[in-house]
Amino acid sequence: MIFARKTTTPSPAHAARLIGLGSYLPPQKVSNADFASRLDTTDEWIRTRIGIAERHIADPATATSNLAVEAALRAMKSAEVEHVDTVILATATPDHHVPGTAPLVAHHLGLRQVPAFDLGAGCSGFVYATTVAAGLIHAGTANTVMVIGAEKMSAVIDPADRSTAPIFGDGAGAVVLTAGRVGEPGALGPASWGSDGEHADAIYIPDGGSRRPPRTTDDPKNRHVHMKGNEVFRHAVRRINHVTQEAASAAGWSIRDIDRLIVHQANARISAAVANTLGIPPERVPSNITHVGNTSAASIPLLLSHSAINGELSAGQRVLLASFGAGFTWAATTLVWPSGLQALT
Ligand code: COA
């Protein structure tokens, strides 16, 4: 297979620098025992095949915007800023088809009339969104951008489907990025990203969009996520391997230089396979999937936040973010972890 190289390089003048990091999980936890009690599955199967023991699920009154606002408030506090000039919300589970959820989030944050928009790139949404934010900062269109990954995956998962229900969880993570210098600690390096729509039906919701509008469909199952798990697994390992190598090389790093690989938490076996193939020691690959499941676009900022809080990320480390998701989409970028960044959760 030939992989096309798609790498963006920031100009020397304006890189996007990480100055704030926050995350939020809804309080209710659902353990594997809950699935085992009502589906043909076991705690052992879910732990060994996926690596998940529990996940957080939002209550019916909570929508993605609520999760996003909580994470964003923590990111702003972490950054010690009261204003950002742009909001990008990466999500596959917006509050409504129309309007976008980001303007509502900006409104609840008290940000008056700032540009705010949703970005849909499945589980790669957050790294896509940081790449877009970096481009806006590079162009001088934005100075300080709030990038949020937030999902209420429980809203789009069929609770009776054992092949998807145990995998996903709800949550949100956010970062504040501001104009900085290329190469300084916290500055995002070149991004590598791509997509392959040939596999659009590998993870998708068949009904409810313009292809099959709600009025023409009546099977509730088709309003939930359908996934070819095995196919996704194989592509995820291959693409994450490749995009990690691309982003490392664009940053001028070898794979050995990566101190921390922050990889999308899809399945613990996917992360292990990537680390193994690339020769990255497991202790350099932090994980929180056991306690949060696959939170799609929220996965990377949640893992960043949890890793920073539990001391797995420290100043000066070379950190590579790598993601893969529905579309298919994939994206990766790098940064040297800054000093003095206090993540809040
Ligand atoms: N409990 C018990 N058995 C289950 C199960 C569950 N929760 N889910 C699936 N199975 C069964 C399947 O029905 C199948 O049974 P069969 O052989 O009788 O047909 C068997 O396990 C093997 O299925 P398969 O899909 O080959 O298993 P797998 O090892 O690939 O694991 C996933 C399935 C979904 C966990 C795995 O493929 C995966 O994690 N894929 C990536 C998903 C993902 O990350 N998606 C998000 C996008 S990034």
Residue 12 pLDDT exceeds 60:
no
Query: How many angstroms is it from 63 CA to the middle of ligand 1?
Result: 28
**pLDDT score at 14:** 87
Segment 219-247 shows an average pLDDT of 97
Protein residue with its CA nearest to atom 9 in ligand 1: 163
**Predicted confidence (pLDDT) at residue 2 exceeds the cutoff of 70:** no
CATH of domain 1-345: 3.40.47.10
Ligand 1 mean position to 269 CA, how many Å? 12
Q: Is the pLDDT of residue 152 over 60?
A: yes
H helix or E strand, kind and range, residue 38: helix 32-38
What amino acid positions are annotated as catalytic residues?
123, 264, 294
293 lines ligand 1 (CB under 6 A): no
d(CA 271, CA 236): 9
Q: Whose CA is nearest to atom 22 of ligand 1?
A: 230
Reported as a pLDDT band with limits 50, 70 and 90, residue 325 is very high
Distance of alpha carbon 227 from alpha carbon 16, whole angstroms: 34
pLDDT of residue 3: 55
SS3 assignment, position 16: strand
Q: Which band of pLDDT confidence, cut at 50, 70 and 90, is reported for residue 11?
A: low
What pLDDT, in 10s, does the model give residues 110-144?
Answer: 998 999 999 999 999 999 999 999 999 999 999 99
What local confidence, expressed as pLDDT, does residue 13 receive?
63
Q: pLDDT tens digits, residue range 74-114?
A: 999 999 999 999 999 999 999 999 999 999 999 999 998 99
3-class SS of residue 298 = helix
Q: Where are the beta strands (DSSP E) in 245-327?
A: 260-263, 318-325
